[in-house]
Amino acid sequence: MSIAIGDPVPDLELTATDDQQIRLTDYRGRNLVLYFYPRASTPGCTQEGLDFAAAHADFGAADTLILGASRDGLRAQQNFKTKQSFPFELIADTDEQLCRAFDVIKLKTLYGRESLGIERSTFLIDATGTLVREWRKVKVKGHVDEVLEAVRGLAQ
């Protein structure tokens, strides 16, 4: 069963960059943007991460943290974060527990071949730990601006 708007986020223990074990519930008291991307260091995923990084101060001013997540291993995530100088942590969801909780694993077709992969998605969790907004089948261009606008709307 996946989390729906209005639901509290699950209390999962997750492995993140910089050798951290985190829980989504650790972020209560602040808003959280959780974005899922298909694969570290690929063009679209790099651009999305760079867009979030460029707006990092704006999200911080709105009392909002950012976390990225994919099924990549910790080493790939750490290399991605380091190479791109992302100012936020990346989650290595190799067991897919976070992906399943947010229902982002979908059947995808590329060059006529089907496989299961992450559907680019973003979730906005408010300071109480409740899912308040989601974006699925995300197109990278302009996405971060839309998320930032939604975050600013929480403060009103």
Q: Domain of 17?
A: 13-154
Say which CATH number the domain at 30 has. 3.40.30.10
Q: Cα–Cα distance between 116 and 103 in angstroms, integer? A: 12
- Would you say the C-alpha torsion 38, 42, 44, 48 has a positive or negative sign? positive
Q: What is the 3-state secondary structure (H, E, C) of the chain?
A: CCCCCCCECCCCEEEECCCEEEEHHHHCCCEEEEEECCCCCCHHHHHHHHHHHHCHHHHHHCCEEEEEEECCCHHHHHHHHHHHCCCCEEEECCCCHHHHHCCCEEEEEECCEEEEEECCEEEEECCCCEEEEEECCCCCCCHHHHHHHHHHHHCC
Q: Is residue 4 part of a domain?
A: no
Does residue 1 register a pLDDT over 70? no
* Active-site position among 16, 45, 90, 144: 45
pTM metric for this prediction: 0.93
Q: Is residue 147 part of a domain?
A: yes
Is 45 an active-site residue? yes
- Span 87-114, mean pLDDT? 90
- Under the banding of pLDDT at 50, 70 and 90, the label for residue 156 is low
Which pLDDT does position 114 carry in this prediction? 82
- Span 79-93, mean pLDDT? 97
Q: Is residue 136 part of a domain?
A: yes
Q: Is residue 6 part of a domain?
A: no
Give the number of domains in the chain: 1
List the single range of 101-110, 116-125, 136-145 with lowest mean pLDDT. 101-110
Does residue 110 register a pLDDT over 90? no
Q: Is residue 2 part of a domain?
A: no
> Bigger pLDDT: 14 or 114?
14
Q: Cα–Cα distance between 94 and 75 in angstroms, integer? A: 11
Q: Is residue 93 part of a domain?
A: yes
